[in-house]
């Protein structure tokens, strides 16, 4: 049987890697739908190459997309804007939805795919940060399957007992933290490469450029996640993501710096055993794991030569060097809409840094100041979350505009 796959955010780094894997297994997967926000030429190219039946594009770009098709594949259906994206995410013809959109923009389509009961392979972590427990509850209601594509969370999935994996993600039931003990699980350990500034003197972080920050030593990813890796906000977001996916309290999620990016995460059991997943740092591995689940199929990645690995290092992260980690942990403990505020403020601050309006070290400062201004609400339904997201963006933008020395 062939699975019909929809890729949201098909022109990005996750999209590219997903297509690579699908093209290696054309007998098993077919592309049903693709989405992109703006890179019309690129989307047209991959729509033709993959034989997609439907595409979703940013509002007002349908004509431009048709022109870019240049007379090829004229029967393709084109939808646009937020409504088009939502429609694509829930179309009954496709069973599998890969979420590769960056940021909070992926929240509504992710929820739509979950509510439609699909097999949802989640790379887009920001929606899980904003309302992860609610998304998991929706999955339990609709019968959706959730499989993490984020390399750390996919590694954790692989190290969990099959029974726990099945009831928490594959056929989610009502999440409850007590099940961890039943399975002898003590904690989850997420590894972090430490990004490009791990060995930089803290005092010099003030002067780093967006180009330096985006140059990740191990992974080739989109700009926003690359900057998040440099501040280690990415690991903070992943901590909150792990709590939601595995119904685990923040205190049971540990973060360790592992510069070689070979061990992608670990699970610690009550007998003292640690199970780890190791692989080359290549996103096609978690993607193929999730697409093929429970089967193991080839990813095309380079094999690890264990005899050649040499030393693997692990150490505690320095929260003075990476203040975003502390902010994210505090927010994870607070709950409610605090993670929504953290996420939106971070998106605005990262954008301002990329556009040269603030310094690298100001990313955490503006996130911190925003968190201090906005009240945390306990209610976390979609409407409230979208309102808080919007309001936070305005507050952080105002803070940046009114700060001395910012443009
Ligand atoms: P990217 O910037 O390379 O691609 C983003 C995609 O989202 C593009 O297709 C773009 O058109 C689309 N998009 C952007 N803004 C949009 C909007 N407002 N509405 C609809 N679509 C929009 O990003 P990426 O590196 O592929 O990351 C995607 C997501 O996956 C992020 O949440 C990231 O944290 C997560 N992730 C990525 C990697 C990786 O290796 N790149 C690894 C783990 C997790
Ligand atoms: Mg990750």
Q: Which residue has the higher pLDDT, 72 or 189?
A: 189
pLDDT category of residue 122 using cuts at 50, 70 and 90: very high
Instruction: Of 117-126, 156-165, 379-388, give the lowest mean pLDDT range.
Output: 156-165
Say yes or no: CB of residue 128 within 6 Å of ligand 1.
Answer: no
Instruction: State how far the Cα of 134 lies from the Cα of 77, in Å rounded to an integer.
Output: 32
Say yes or no: CB of residue 221 within 6 Å of ligand 1.
Answer: yes
Note the pLDDT of residue 176.
55
What pairs with residue 277 in β-bridges?
A: 265
Domains detected in the chain: 3-149 (3.40.50.720), 335-407 (1.10.1740.10)
* Residue among 8, 10, 14 to mutate when testing ligand 1 (max atoms within 8 A of CB): 14
Instruction: State how far the Cα of 214 lies from the Cα of 231, in Å rounded to an integer.
Output: 10
Pick the atom of ligand 1 nearest to 14's CA. Answer: 26
Note the pLDDT of residue 27.
96
In the predicted model, what is the mean pLDDT of residues 345-363? 98
Instruction: State how far the Cα of 344 lies from the Cα of 352, in Å rounded to an integer.
Output: 12
Pick the atom of ligand 1 nearest to 125's CA. Answer: 32
SS3 breakdown of the chain: % helix, strand, coil, rounded to 5? Answer: 50, 15, 35
Radius of gyration of the chain (CA): 21
Say yes or no: CB of residue 227 within 6 Å of ligand 1.
Answer: no
Say yes or no: CB of residue 7 within 6 Å of ligand 1.
Answer: no
Asked if residue 74 has pLDDT above 90, the reply is no
Note the pLDDT of residue 175.
57
Tokens of 98: 């890969």
Asked if residue 171 has pLDDT above 90, the reply is no
pLDDT category of residue 373 using cuts at 50, 70 and 90: very high
Note the pLDDT of residue 178.
55
Q: Give residue 123 CA to ligand 1 midpoint distance, Å.
A: 8
């Amino acid at each position: 049987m062939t699975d019909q796959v929809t890729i949201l955010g098909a022109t990005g780094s996750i999209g590219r890697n997903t297509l690579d894997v699908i093209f290696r297994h054309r007998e098993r997967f077919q592309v049903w739908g693709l989405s992109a926000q703006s890179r019309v030429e690129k989307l047209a190219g991959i729509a033709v190459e993959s034989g997609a039946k439907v595409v979703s594009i940013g509002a007002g770009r349908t004509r431009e997309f048709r022109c870019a098709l240049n007379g090829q594949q004229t029967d393709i259906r084109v939808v646009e804007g937020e409504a088009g994206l939502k429609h694509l995410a829930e179309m009954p013809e496709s069973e599998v939805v890969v979420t590769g959109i960056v940021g909070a923009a992926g929240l509504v389509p992710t929820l739509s795919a979950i509510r439609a009961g699909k097999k949802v392979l989640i790379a887009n972590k920001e929606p899980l940060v904003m309302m992860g427990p609610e998304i998991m509850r929706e999955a339990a209601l609709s019968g959706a399957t959730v499989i993490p594509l984020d390399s750390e969370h996919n590694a954790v999935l692989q190290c969990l007992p099959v029974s726990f994996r099945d009831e928490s993600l594959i056929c989610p039931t009502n999440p409850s933290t007590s099940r961890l003990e039943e399975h002898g699980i003590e904690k989850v350990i997420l590894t972090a490469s430490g990004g490009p500034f791990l060995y930089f003197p803290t005092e010099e972080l003030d002067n780093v450029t967006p180009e330096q920050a985006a140059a990740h030593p191990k992974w080739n990813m989109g700009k926003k996640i690359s900057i998040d890796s440099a501040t280690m906000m990415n690991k903070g977001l992943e901590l909150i993501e792990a709590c939601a996916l595995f119904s685990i309290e923040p205190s049971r999620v540990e973060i360790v710096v592992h510069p070689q990016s070979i061990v992608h995460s670990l699970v610690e059991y009550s007998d003292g055993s640690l199970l780890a997943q190791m692989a080359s740092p290549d996103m096609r591995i978690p993607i193929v794991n999730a697409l093929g689940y429970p089967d193991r199929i080839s990813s095309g990645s380079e094999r690890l030569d264990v005899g050649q690995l040499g030393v693997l290092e692990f150490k505690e992260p320095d929260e003075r060097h990476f203040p975003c980690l502390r902010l994210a942990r505090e927010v994870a403990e607070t709950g409610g809409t605090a993670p929504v505020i953290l996420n939106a403020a971070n998106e605005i601050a990262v954008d301002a840094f990329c556009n040269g309006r603030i310094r690298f070290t100001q990313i955490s400062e503006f996130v911190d100041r925003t968190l201090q201004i906005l009240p945390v609400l306990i209610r976390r339904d979609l409407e409230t979350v979208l309102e808080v997201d919007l309001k936070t963006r305005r507050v952080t933008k105002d803070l940046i505009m009114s700060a001395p020395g910012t443009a």
